[in-house]
Each structure stands twice: as structure tokens, then as C-alpha cells.
Chain A
Amino acid sequence: MTEEIIIAGFGGQGVLSMGKILAYSGIMENKEVSWMPSYGPEMRGGTANVIVIISDERISSPILNEFDTAIILNQQSMDKFENTVKPGGLLLYDPNGITNHPKRKDITIATIEGAKESSILKTNKTANMIVLGAFLKLHPVVKMVNVHKGLEKSLPQRHHHMIPINEKAITIGMEKLKIIQDLRKVATMN
């Protein structure tokens, strides 16, 4: 199993930390992982993206131009990455702020209202975890017990009191996900 994922949005939306939690969860599950961020001027006020790979095998290139999954949090990233999803792959996005919705017919498309659901939780800091939950529902690449361990490892000790609300956010994401177009084979449904 190898899952190649791009996560993209604005700086501040928690793109890099979502990737880090996912990668750390992969390590907790004894998998090989890589986390390759955009860095430098791209990070400062512009778009942020990170390529996360989780695999049972040694990871070849941490830098890729096509992905099994794209997790998209803003329009610029949608424009840039819609066409990088492999045929049969997954595009998961937060429709908040998206004006041009994806048009691909050969991929699974799903939405999750991360920003909206996070505001219901009276915080804007869990939107990324809500989106992560939706992704894990669609592609359960790591077990929840390992996501918990991943959160413990990724968050500094002083933020550990935030773990329960992050886990709640993940559960909300799993529940509130909407599948727009489903190309997943029956075998991968469970």
C-alpha cells in the first residue's frame, strides 16, 4: 500500500500540521512516511502545500506531480492541483470559498465543510482536523488509535489538552463528509 497525498490551501489553514499529524500517525502504524512542504516565500502569506506519502515500502521520491489524493482548501489550490489527481483517485475539498468546483469525471470527488463545522465547535483551529477526518473515512490509511498517538507526538506537550477536541473534530469530519461523485471500487469501500 502506498498513498500519495497533496494537501494544499492558504498559509494558516493548518495544511502543514494536518500533513504532520497524518505522517506521524503513519509512523505509529510502522509505515514509511515522508512530508515535503513548500517552503520560503510560498509560505509567507501565499499558498501552502505539503506532499505526504504513507507506504509499506521504502519511499522513492518525496516530490511528485500526480497523487492518489488531493485535499484542497482554497481556489488557487483547486486550480493548481485538480488535474494532478490520478485517474480513479480522490479529490476532497472544503467548498468554503470555492467558486469553480472540480469538473473531472474520472475521479472520486467529496466535500467536507471544515471551516463551517469548526465554527460550530466555537473554534477555527479544528477545520483541518475535520477535513482529515473526512479523508480518513474515505481512505483509512491509518487506524484511529494511531492517529491518537500521532496527535500526541505531533503536538507539543503544552497543547495536549487540545487532543480531545481534535479527535472530536476528526469524528465530525467522518460524519459530515459528502460524496459528490463516487468512483471507488467496492473492494476499497470498507
Chain B
Amino acid sequence: MKEAILMKGNEAMAEAAIRAGADAYFGYPITPQSEVIEYLMHEEPQKRTGMVVLQAESELAAINMVYGAGACGKRVMTSSSSPGISLKSEGISYMAGSEIPCLIVNVMRGGPGLGTIQPGQSDYFQATKGGGHGDYRLIVLAPSTVQEMADFVDLSFKLAFKYRNPAMILSDGAIGQMMEKVYLPEQKERLSNEKIIELYGDWATTGKTANRERNIITSLDLKPERQEIHNIHLQEKYKMIEENETRYEEIRCEDAEYIMVAFGTSARLCQKVIQLGREKGLKLGLLRPITLWPFPKKPITDYAEKVKGFLSVEMNAGQMVEDILLAVEGKAPVEHYGRMGGMIASPSEILQALEEKLISNN
């Protein structure tokens, strides 16, 4: 059996990147995720696996380094927190357009602007609906434990390469800063160019061979007819991801009369709310989206026929609640409860909000 160790979410993610056989990390420090680059610098993975770790001169430089290395078919990662992800959004859009697989981590803090350094979830729209320009989607995974911070690194690379698409881990300052018991994954080998071609095809700039044309990695095509064809291809790919990669967890939903929908830290708070509510005889459940995009629409639509209401619990003014409303299709009441600006709701406060918004009013 593997050894359990105590680690911060940020550190577990950094170690998991080395073990996932990542080829490079390019980043720029920002609270509350600076431990990622600190851990990697201290650990010197270039001596362990040959993985490159580089502190770029800015977030813009970092994301464009990701673009360059990703275009070579390498497993590349960057991480930042909310304001830094805004800076990286141009590059993210370019990578979505050029179909470059990579991993981007956002350890969210309160916004808008520089906001605060305390935990937030107000980048849900940015992560799931764009952020950058153009019709694109990121595969967005939302860890709610330190273990998932570690596990989702390899999963993100797998999904990113399977679909040639950027993937994002959308975490928050609480999960990044807290320590929990974690079992680290086994060390995987970094892939050679030959192995990359064998596993993922020869789209990347791994060096032109005599048997094929040169590969061009770009998001630019000035001919609108061709750009539209490219867009149609992207949309077909996104549809396939929606069909195959939706992930979620249900906790006590089987007999629930009221279902909370929450991800990340909020999902942890809600697990306590279930306990407090059930002690009072309230049948509460939690549906925790693990992929925020693709969003687990179907299970919510199905539960809408059975339950008395949904409460979206987010550390923002109400963002994911819009996707819940679309999924519920008006069949049940949907309310939102959230704190903003880096404030975290207490479980008893959430329970009170649920009782006021969904139970007393009916």
C-alpha cells in the first residue's frame, strides 16, 4: 500500500505534475498558489525526470511558453490565480484555436480586479464560458480535496491529449492552502517524440519526417470558409467531450428532498450542511460537479422531477446557478447562496439560507 502523507493542495499538485511525466512548467508567482512554483523550484525535477521548470518574466510570457512547448506535443503546465488567468486568457484562446493540449491551473481568489488573496469561486464564468475570445471550450475539472488536486493533474493531461484541447483545473485558495492526507501517484515516464506520435498522432511539431507534409500549428486562417470549417470541427469535438467526459459525484441524493449543487471548497462546506440538516430531519443531498465543463446537466434534469428544490452554493454572486437553471428547465425551484470577496460561508449559515430560501417560502 502507498504511503499517506500530509501535503498542501498546491504542493500535491506540483508533485503530481512531476509524477505525471510532465515535460515543463512555466509560471509566474501569485498568492494563493505560489507554492506550486516554489515546490517545483525546490524539488528540481530536471534532476529527477528532466522536467523543465521556469519562472517566466510575466504571465503573458508563461502562457506563450506553454503554447510553444505544447505545440511540440509536450506535456506542459502553467498555474496562476484569478488576475493571472485573466492575463493568460489571450494565450488560452489561441491554444484552444490551435488545438494545443496543455494544463492550466487556476487557484481562485476573490475578484474582480486584483480583488483579494482569500479563496473565491468567481472565475466560473471565465473558466466555463470563455475568458478569452472566440467560440471555444476548456475541459474544466474542479477538485474538492487535496487528493483530487494530485489526481486531476494526470487526468487533465489525459483528457487534453485525447481531445487536443487545453484543460483547466479550477481550484481555490482554500484547497490550495490546506493540508490533507494524500496518496501520491506512481512516477510516469516522460514521453519521447516517437511515443508522442504513436499515442497521439503526428500533429505536433516533433520534427518533419519524409513521409508527411510539415505541420503548422496556428489559430489564424484568413479565409472565412476555412475558418468556419475549423469552427465546425471544434464544435463537433466539444460535443463529443460533452457526451463522454462529464463527471460528477452524488452524496446522499438518493432520498434527498433538497439538493445542493456545489464544487470545490463549497462542496466540502455542503457535506457538513448535509450532516447538520439531516440531524434536524431535513433530507439534504449534494450533487458535486467534478467537470464544470462539460457541466453535468443530465443528472440535474433528472433530479428536477423528484426534488423540492435546488440550492447552488458558490463563493460568488451566482454563476453556476445559471447552468443549474438551464438544466432544471423550470421543473423545480432553484436558489443561490454565496459569499464574495474572499469570504467563506459557514455550514450553519448555508443551512439557514437553504431553509429560508427553499423551505420557509413554500
Chain A residue numbers with a CB within 8 Å of B177 are 36-37, 39
Query: Does A97 reach chain B (CB closer than 8 Å)?
Result: no
Given contacts A60-B272, A61-B268, A61-B271, contact A39 B173 (CB under 8 A): yes
What's the least CB distance linking A108 to chain B, in Å?
A: 22
Chain B residue numbers with a CB within 8 Å of A32 are 181
Q: Chain B interface residue count: which class?
A: 20 to 34
Chain B residue numbers with a CB within 8 Å of A66 are 348
Interface residues of A in 8-28 (CB under 8 A from B): 20, 23-24, 27
Q: Chain A interface residue count: which class?
A: 20 to 34
Query: Does A140 reach chain B (CB closer than 8 Å)?
Result: no
- Whole-angstrom CA separation of A66 from B347 in the bound complex: 10
Query: Does B155 reach chain A (CB closer than 8 Å)?
Result: no
Is A27 touching B6 in the complex (CB atoms < 8 A)? yes
What's the least CB distance linking B288 to chain A, in Å?
A: 12
Given contacts A20-B6, A24-B6, A33-B181, contact A63 B275 (CB under 8 A): no
Is A64 touching B179 in the complex (CB atoms < 8 A)? no
Task: Give 1 or 0 for each of B261-281: 1 = CB within 8 Å of chain A CB.
Answer: 000010011111011000000
Q: Which of B5, B31, B118, B180 contacts A62, CB < 8 Å?
A: B180
Residues of B within 8 A of A (CB): 4-6, 31-32, 117-118, 173-174, 177-181, 265, 268-272, 274-275, 344, 346-349
Interchain residue pairs with CB less than 8 A apart (29)? A27-B4, A27-B5, A34-B179, A34-B180, A35-B180, A36-B174, A36-B177, A36-B178, A37-B177, A39-B32, A39-B177, A40-B117, A40-B118, A41-B117, A60-B268, A60-B269, A60-B271, A61-B272, A62-B180, A62-B268, A63-B265, A63-B269, A63-B344, A64-B346, A64-B347, A65-B346, A65-B348, A66-B348, A153-B5
Question: Given contacts A40-B31, A65-B349, could you give 16 more A-B pairs where the C-beta distance is less than 8 Å?
Answer: A20-B179, A27-B4, A27-B6, A27-B181, A34-B179, A35-B179, A37-B178, A39-B32, A59-B180, A60-B268, A60-B272, A62-B174, A62-B180, A62-B268, A65-B346, A65-B347
